[in-house]
């Protein structure tokens, strides 16, 4: 279905043309004064200079033309030249019935679907997920779902940190603790064990212990660096340990990400890019892009229009070792080979912006990606505590993600358990769903690039702009629909009615903006716009609910039609929260 705003703009643009003005002046926006009108057009103001007349003259002429349109119930020209518009309730009713009859609620899939890779998550193996991993996972998952909903082919890649010194540190520490393991026997030629020589708990203890020691013991650090070199150059035993680290870590990561309702299509890491590095480096040298600077291999990426210093992109360090820039460029080579994407979106901390400026420019300049491939940097701000500093535990440490989720779920459980009608099992599951909505909505309702305060008390509230409030609204609708059916009502019987009062029309107009809201949110990579939309919709519904007799309506046909509005509202809200990555329970 064509977006309602586009239909209105088309009608107003046609009126401008009929009155002798250019169509471009007919652009319509949602009114910023809902007390005066529902939509507005300011084109007469912009056209006054060109047509050498007062804006109100243009507005009056166009308003007179629009009064013949069945689309509008009211058209007013207001000084100094605004057009104030109100839609005919019957037209809105017809539009909403089209939404209700459509499986996709009137949201057409894009006519030009893209192949898109989203790089998000980015945890290091052998380390537990902590709150610093939250934003990338939540924002990336939502952008992925938004992209798929509007019709693009989207692949999500976690891009694991599984290469570098951390691997050498783990191997070195493991060798000291368990020197008799076959992985350290250079004469061993048989198959290595399939079971890892450590658990996830042991692994998570080994790495920080090794990291701490390497900062005080230079000889130990040298051993770790040599072990890193060996694993990166194919040492058979160390490669087997690396595979164990990956298997154990990924199993645990999948469990933790599942608790966030986050799924990745690819579990690739930096190590997967390694085979592409030699040929890539050779290409950059051969084609004259890469040159030596202080022993390192670099590519210039500065541009004449730069207002700040953009350093060269370093491809290899002076000792020949690769860096994050190397593996990110090689990963783009791999993605081009495997997916030939039209767009690659990176959901990472905004403090990494310069790194990605260098990577993107280098990839474009050297032809590692096609000229038409879009490389997007979606940088997010910091998740802070109430003190305005990065979120920490009460003891001042970095909080593990599973502990944060557990704390919020317990907080929600304590609230839900007050209802004696709900079993403990249902209460726990309901608490999990509400807790997830609190975390995800609390994050996504903020513009991604901005820092925000993670306020557990506010995010878990059932009032205000929160996930639990949105879920409470959906559950309220479910409860009414269940009662309606229990009274013998047929959910398939009703049709969307013509609005009879202001609260009903406001609700219907808000519902009609659904397809535009989701398309716009993806175009701008802005999940917070979905949150803003459903908060407005939830408020509109609750006002309608408090002012309208629904199940108490005596006229059976009218009651069925009101129920049809509830069903459409529920479908729209549930579609939106699915895009945001959470779901509603049956009751709260």
Lowest-pLDDT choice from 362-371, 383-392, 424-433, 478-487: 383-392
Neighbours of 489 (CB within 10 A): 17
Under the banding of pLDDT at 50, 70 and 90, the label for residue 379 is very high
Q: How far is residue 41's CA from residue 31's CA, in Å, rounded to a whole number?
A: 9
| Chain segment 232-271, per-residue pLDDT in tens | 888 999 999 999 999 999 999 999 999 999 999 999 999 9
Cα-Cα-Cα-Cα dihedral of 368, 371, 376, 377, to 10°?
50
Q: Is 200 helix (H, G, I), strand (E, B) or coil?
A: helix
The span from the CA of 137 to the CA of 541, in Å, is 31
With 70 as the cut, is the pLDDT of residue 149 above it?
yes
| Higher pLDDT among residues 399 and 371, named by residue | 371
Residue 502: pLDDT over 70: yes
- pLDDT higher than threshold 70 for residue 48: yes
Separation CA 407–CA 411 (nearest Å): 6
How confident is the model at residue 396, as a pLDDT?
Answer: 62
Q: What is the pLDDT of residue 30?
A: 96
Residue 326 has pLDDT above 80, yes or no: yes
Mean pLDDT of 303-330: 93
Mean pLDDT over the full length of the chain: 95
- Cα separation, 110 vs 152, in Å, equals 7
pLDDT of 398 higher than 80: no
Q: What pLDDT is stored for residue 394 in this prediction?
A: 65
Cβ count near 131 (within 10 Å)? 19
In whole angstroms, give the CA distance from residue 69 to residue 12: 10
Reply yes or no on whether the pLDDT at 114 is more than 70: yes
pLDDT at 418: 87
Between the CA atoms of 290, 292, 298 and 302, what dihedral angle is there, to the nearest 10 degrees? -90
The answer on pLDDT for 172 being more than 90 is: yes
CA distance 262 to 268: 16
DSSP state for residue 38 in the 8-state scheme: S
Q: How confident is the model at residue 127 (pLDDT cuts 50, 70, 90)?
A: confident
First-to-last alpha carbon distance for the chain, in angstroms, is 35
Task: Centre a 10 Å sphere on the Cβ of residue 384 and count the other Cβ atoms it contains.
Answer: 16
CA distance 422 to 431: 11
pLDDT at residue 320 is higher than 90: no
Whole-angstrom distance, CA of residue 67 vs CA of residue 196: 76
Using the predicted structure, report yes or no on whether residue 517 has a pLDDT greater than 80: yes
Q: Which of 320, 552, 581 is nearest to 436 (CA)?
A: 581
Q: For residue 372, is pLDDT > 80?
A: yes
* Alpha-carbon span 48 to 46, nearest angstrom: 6
Report how far residue 535's alpha carbon sits from residue 19's, in angstroms, rounded to the nearest whole number.
39
Contact 188, 182 (CB under 8 A): yes
Domains identified in the chain and CATH numbers: 4-87 (3.30.1360.70), 165-259 (no CATH), 403-580 (1.10.730.10)
- What is the reported pLDDT for 28? 97
What confidence tens digit (pLDDT) does each residue in 173-220 have? 999 999 999 999 999 999 999 999 999 999 989 999 999 999 999 999
- Contacts within 8 Å (CB) and 24+ apart, 176-184: 177/206, 182/237, 183/237, 183/238, 183/240, 183/241, 184/237
Whether 284 and 299 have beta carbons less than 8 Å apart is answered as: yes
The CA-based diameter of the chain, rounded to the nearest angstrom, is 94
pLDDT at 395: 65
Share of the chain above pLDDT 90, in %: 89
What's residue 142's pLDDT?
98
């Amino acid at each position: 279905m064509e977006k309602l705003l586009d239909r209105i703009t088309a009608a107003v643009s046609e009126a401008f043309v009929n009155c002798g003005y250019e169509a471009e002046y007919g652009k319509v926006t949602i009114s910023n004064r809902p007390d005066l009108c529902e939509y507005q057009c300011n084109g007469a103001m912009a056209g006054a200079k060109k047509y050498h007349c007062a804006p109100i003259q243009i507005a009056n002429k166009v308003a007179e033309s629009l009064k013949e349109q069945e689309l509008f119930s009211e058209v007013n020209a207001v000084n100094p030249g605004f057009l104030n518009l109100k839609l005919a309730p019957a037209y809105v009713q017809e539009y909403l019935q089209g939404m209700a009859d459509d499986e996709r609620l009137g949201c057409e899939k894009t006519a030009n679907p893209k192949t898109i890779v989203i790089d998000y998550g980015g945890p290091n193996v052998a380390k537990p997920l902590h709150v610093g991993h939250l934003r990338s996972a939540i924002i990336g998952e939502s952008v992925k779902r938004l992209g798929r909903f509007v019709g693009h082919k989207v692949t999500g890649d976690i891009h694991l940190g599984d290469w570098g010194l951390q691997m050498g540190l783990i191997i070195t520490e493991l060798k000291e603790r368990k020197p008799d393991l076959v992985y350290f026997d250079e004469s061993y030629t048989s198959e290595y064990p399939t079971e890892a020589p450590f658990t996830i708990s042991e692994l998570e203890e080994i790495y920080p212990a090794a990291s701490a020691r390497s900062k005080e013991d230079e000889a130990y650090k040298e051993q770790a660096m040599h072990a890193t070199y060996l694993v990166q150059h194919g040492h058979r035993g160390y490669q087997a340990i690396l595979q164990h680290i990956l298997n154990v870590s990924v199993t645990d990561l999948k469990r933790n990400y599942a608790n966030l309702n986050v799924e990745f299509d690819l579990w690739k890491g930096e190590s997967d890019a390694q085979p592409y590095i030699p040929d890539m480096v050779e290409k950059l040298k051969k084609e004259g892009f890469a040159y030596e600077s202080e022993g390192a291999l670099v590519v210039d990426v500065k541009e004449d229009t730069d207002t700040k210093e953009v350093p060269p992109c370093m491809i290899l360090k002076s000792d020949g070792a690769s860096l994050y820039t190397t593996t990110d460029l090689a990963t783009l080579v791999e993605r081009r080979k495997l997916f030939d994407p039209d767009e690659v979106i990176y959901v990472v901390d905004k403090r990494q912006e310069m790194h990605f400026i260098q990577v993107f420019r280098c990839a474009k300049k050297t032809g590692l990606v096609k000229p038409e491939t879009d490389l997007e940097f979606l940088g997010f701000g910091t998740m802070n505590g109430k003190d305005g500093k990065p979120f920490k535990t009460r003891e001042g440490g970095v909080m593990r993600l599973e502990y944060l989720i557990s704390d919020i779920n317990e907080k929600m459980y304590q609230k839900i358990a007050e209802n004696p009608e709900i079993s403990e099992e249902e209460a726990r599951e309901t608490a999990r769903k509400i807790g997830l909505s609190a975390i995800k909505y609390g994050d996504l309702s903020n513009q991604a690039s901005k820092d925000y305060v993670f306020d557990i008390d506010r995010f878990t509230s059932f009032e205000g702009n929160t996930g639990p409030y949105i879920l409470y609204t959906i559950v309220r609708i479910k409860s009414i629909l269940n009662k309606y059916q229990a009274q013998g009502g047929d959910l398939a019987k009703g049709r969307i009615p013509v609005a009879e009062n202001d609260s009903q029309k406001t609700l219907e107009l808000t519902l009609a903006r659904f397809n535009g809201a989701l398309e716009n949110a993806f175009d701008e990579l802005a999940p917070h716009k979905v949150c803003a939309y459903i908060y407005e919709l939830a408020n509109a519904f609750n006002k309608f609910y408090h002012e309208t007799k629904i199940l108490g309506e005596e006229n059976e046909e009218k009651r069925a039609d009101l129920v049809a509005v509830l069903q459409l509202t529920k479908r729209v809200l549930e579609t939106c929260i699915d895009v945001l990555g959470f779901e509603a329970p049956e009751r709260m």
